[in-house]
């Protein structure tokens, strides 16, 4: 077997050697979507500044990134550095897949948003360095809202919904007020966080989705579809979000900062100035949202941890962060980079700062990713009318309790130990 492997390795290496740089010394980094696309530009000149430090970037699709990281862990093929969604950190830490920040990390943990840094602290240790922060808010076609009689948007749920109804009426048949892809959990999660009710209970070992707060959020979410304000579609069915936004198929859309760059690049010129970003409405006044964003981790299996941390450090310097923000539209993790990039003065970007100030963290359990995807699956059934609000809430709790069974056992075991 071993002999065959080396043979195969030799056979496989030969034809590719011609077109690939020797990958021995390169630090391997996995990044997602938009961020991966801009990494090469951020790394231009990195190897001249750090002789002998080559970097090889692998782009993962966002939809498959989480499973890819787990597969990488299971198969022992993780890279040296990885971009991870902040909510995945608890899981990767529980697996022992990531290394804590080194002792001398104080230099790059200064100048960060405290709330975001706190989400990266697991069991008292800092496990990842924030790379960019984000949160979700609304992208709105101001011209369509103005046509419907709304020059500013209401900040409470009831008023906001009235505004959406007005837009829908003005838009007529075949058009909608807002796009909420039914396969994305973020929108419902945002509404649920706004109610202030914790989503898990009992030391995060049981679901808390039958609470009055979550039910209210779910009922509001479902009503947006039931009342014809949002089309019942998944993201895969919208051939092209920008085109549809430009055509007025919907007038509002909840997304993150990366969409600003997308819209700037893709919307036709005659729409300039006809769209804006707006913080989210809440149950009774401006609402919260989940602090999103990505951090960089160094995997425990990194071949050269020092080189890996060096790369992380480089990506978090203020200059690189500011440049990254300009390229990708992501919001830098370091407040001083906000100023350097001129984001605070940008009318499209400033609302994100406002929204971040109202961020509310999600539970730090390894199963979180699966919990929210189950939540969304059941919520979709409620949207399609095959479940009532009460039965959906009960079903989510039942599924979440099932998911957390192992965690309950492990918490017990730890108490016993």
Partner 1 sequence: MTAETRAGWVFTTPALAAIALFFALPAAASLLLSFTDFDIYALADLGNLRFVGLDNYARLFGNPLFWRAVRNTLWFVVLGVPLTVALSLAAAVLLDARTLRWKPVWRVALFAPYVTTLVATAVVWRYLLHTRYGLVNYALASVGIGPVDWLGSPTASMPAILIFVAWKTFGYNMVIFLAALQTVPQELHEAARIDGAGAWTRFRHVTLPAIAPTVLLVSILSIAGFFQLFAEPYVMTQGGPDQSTVTILYFMYEEGFKWWNLGTGSAVAFLLFVMIFGVTLLQLWFAKRVAPQ
Partner 2 sequence: MVREAGGAAMKARAILLNAAAVVVALVTLAPLMWMVAVSFMAPGEAAAFPPPLVPAHPTLDNYRTLFETYGIGRYFANSLLVSSLATGLALLFVVPAGYAFAKLRFRGRDRIFQLLVAALVIPGQIGMLPLFLELKALGLVNSYAGVLVPWLAGIFGIFLVRQYCLAIPTEMLEAARVDGASEGAILRRIVLPTLQPILVALALFVFLGSWNDFMWPLIILSDDRLYTLPVALAALSREHVQDNELMMAGSVVTTLPVLILFLALQRYYMRGLLAGSVKG
Catalog residues that contact partner 1 under the rule CB under 8 A.
63, 66-67, 70-71, 73-74, 91, 94-97, 182-183, 232-234, 236-237, 239, 366, 370, 377, 380-381, 384, 386, 402, 406, 409-410
Residues 201-240 that bind partner 2 (CB under 8 A): 235-236, 239-240
409 is an interface residue for partner 2 by CB under 8 A: no
Q: Is 318 helix (H, G, I), strand (E, B) or coil?
A: helix
**CA 230, 232, 235, 237: dihedral to nearest 10 degrees?**
-120
Closer residue to partner 2 (CB): 23 or 417:
23
Which option in partner 1, partner 2, none does residue 172 bind, with CB closer than 5 to 8 A by kind? Answer: none
Site track for partner 2 across 10-39, x = CB under 8 A: -xx--xx--xx--x---------x------
Q: What is the DSSP string of 97-159?
A: -EEPPPGGGHHHHSSS-HHHHHHTEETTEE--EEEEEE--EEEEEHHHHHHTT-SS--SBHHH
Q: Is 207 helix (H, G, I), strand (E, B) or coil?
A: strand
Q: Which pair of structure tokens corresponds to residue 321? A: 């962060």
Closer residue to partner 2 (CB): 59 or 115:
59
Strands (E), 271-415: 275-278, 281-282, 285-286, 292-299, 331-332
Task: Please identify which residue in 40, 71, 304, 319 interacts with partner 2, judged by CB under 8 A.
Answer: 71
Which option in partner 1, partner 2, none does residue 11 bind, with CB closer than 5 to 8 A by kind? Answer: partner 2
Which option in partner 1, partner 2, none does residue 377 bind, with CB closer than 5 to 8 A by kind? Answer: partner 1
Q: Which pair of structure tokens corresponds to residue 368? A: 């979180």
Closest CA to 297 of 289, 305, 288: 305
Q: Which stretch binds partner 2 (CB under 8 A): 60-68, 175-183, 277-285, 338-346?
A: 60-68
Say which residues have a Cβ less than 8 Å from residue 12's Cβ, sequence separation at least 6.
Answer: none
Phi-psi region of 159 (alpha: psi -120 to 50; beta: other; left: phi over 0): alpha
103 is an interface residue for partner 2 by CB under 8 A: no
Contact residues for partner 2, defined by CB under 8 A: 1, 4-5, 8-9, 11-12, 15-16, 19-20, 23, 33, 56, 58-64, 68, 71-72, 74-77, 235-236, 239-243
């Amino acid at each position: 077997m071993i002999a065959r492997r080396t043979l195969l390795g030799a056979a496989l290496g030969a034809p590719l050697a011609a077109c690939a740089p020797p990958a021995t010394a390169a630090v391997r980094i996995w990044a997602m979507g938009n961020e991966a696309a801009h990494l090469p530009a951020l790394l231009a000149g990195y190897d001249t500044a750090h002789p002998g430090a080559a970097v090889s970037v692998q782009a993962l699709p966002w939809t498959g990134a989480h499973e890819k990281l787990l597969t990488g862990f299971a198969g022992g093929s993780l890279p040296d550095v990885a971009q991870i969604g902040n909510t995945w950190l608890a899981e990767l830490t529980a697996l022992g897949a990531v290394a804590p920040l080194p002792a001398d990390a104080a230099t790059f943990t200064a100048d960060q948003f405290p709330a975001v840094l706190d989400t990266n602290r697991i069991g008292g240790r800092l496990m990842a360095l924030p790379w960019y922060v984000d949160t979700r808010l609304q992208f709105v076609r101001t011209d369509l809202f103005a046509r419907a009689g709304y020059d500013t948007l209401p900040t409470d749920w009831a008023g906001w919904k009235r505004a959406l109804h007005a837009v829908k009426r003005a838009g007529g048949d075949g058009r909608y007020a807002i796009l909420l892809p039914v396969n994305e959990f973020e929108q419902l999660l945002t509404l649920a966080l706004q109610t202030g009710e914790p989503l898990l209970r009992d030391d995060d070992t049981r679901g808390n989705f039958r609470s009055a707060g979550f039910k209210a959020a779910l009922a509001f979410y479902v009503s947006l579809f039931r009342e014809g304000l949002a089309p019942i579609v998944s993201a895969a069915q919208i051939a092209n979000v920008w085109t549809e936004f430009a055509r007025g198929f919907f007038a509002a859309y909840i997304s993150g900062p990366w969409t600003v760059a997308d819209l700037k690049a893709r919307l036709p010129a005659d729409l300039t100035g006809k769209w804006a970003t707006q913080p989210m409405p809440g149950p009774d006044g401006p609402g919260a949202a989940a602090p999103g964003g990505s951090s960089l981790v160094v995997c425990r299996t990194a071949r050269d941890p020092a080189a890996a941390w060096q790369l992380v450090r480089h990506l978090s310097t203020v200059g690189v962060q500011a440049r990254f923000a300009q390229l990708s539209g992501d919001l830098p993790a370091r407040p001083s980079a906000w100023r350097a990039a001129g984001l605070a003065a940008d009318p499209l970007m400033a609302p994100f700062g406002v929204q971040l100030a109202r961020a509310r963290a999600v539970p730090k359990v390894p199963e979180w990713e699966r919990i929210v995807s189950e939540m969304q699956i059941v919520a979709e059934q409620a949207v399609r009318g095959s479940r009532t609000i009460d039965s959906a809430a009960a079903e989510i709790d039942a599924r979440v309790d099932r998911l957390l069974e192992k965690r309950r056992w492990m918490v017990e075991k730890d108490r016993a130990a």
